[in-house]
Amino acid sequence: MIIEHLGSSGLALSWDGKRLAIDPPCPVSDPVVVTWSEYERLAGLSRAVSAAAAPQLLDWRGVDGTPLEHGKCVEFAGFNLCAHPYTPIPYATTTEAVRKTHSALRHPVMAANRLAHTLRRPKSSPLTLSIERGGIRIAYLGQALHRFLPEKERDALITAHRGADVLIAGTDFDDEIITGELMAHFDAKHHIVADLIGPVRRSLGLPTRPLLVTQDVAPSGTLALESNCRFRLELT
């Protein structure tokens, strides 16, 4: 299996002769899955040859794609996908609100574009994904493992994704420790922490922490996927 960071929040997964792009930051030729309505995650949807996303997103963008609905498994581009929504981290805690205000003052055009997008976008929840092909199952958790996640949702995600061959999780700023600790509850064979938020935060002038902070508390052997990097993972 090849796992590639596409920049921003995007990843590409390749195995068993098939390739899938998740939240690509620009148009790609691969089948595209979009997990949320954030500004950077939608860039690859508009010109996608084939796409899967929440029904609200497909309708909003006028895309004739495969709808991803809670707990309903669908076949898409040779993969079996099952989506589970989760409550995202709040847009801004008190401290983070101060940081984002300062960022907006330094980058007013970018801030205005992101705000306009936020006000227009559908109020759908972000999605985790169970991705299966050829007997291999990937649990893509996005930024679901954060300190504000309700206990009931956390337990439901563990039940849905436990025992995957590969677990991939990102972490929000200030949630690096809890993300690593929660990864252990999923009993995956391989664990990966991916830099899904750092590229966006750095572009906005917001602080970030190295993935090593999460690796230090995650299950032993957890790999780190940095922005715009790739690696091959041998699965048996």
Q: 4-51, pLDDT tens digit by residue?
A: 999 999 999 999 999 999 999 988 999 999 999 887 888 888 788 899
Choose between 226 and 113: higher pLDDT.
226
Domain 69-231, second-level architecture:
4-Layer Sandwich (3.60)
The encoded tokens of residue 3 equal 């796992």
Q: Within 13 Å of residue 89, how many CA atoms lie on the same side as its CB?
A: 21
CA dist 64 and 84 (Å) reads: 21
Whole-number pLDDT of residue 235: 85
Question: What share of the chain has pLDDT > 90, as a percent?
Answer: 71
Is 100's pLDDT higher than 80? no
Whole-number pLDDT of residue 35: 96
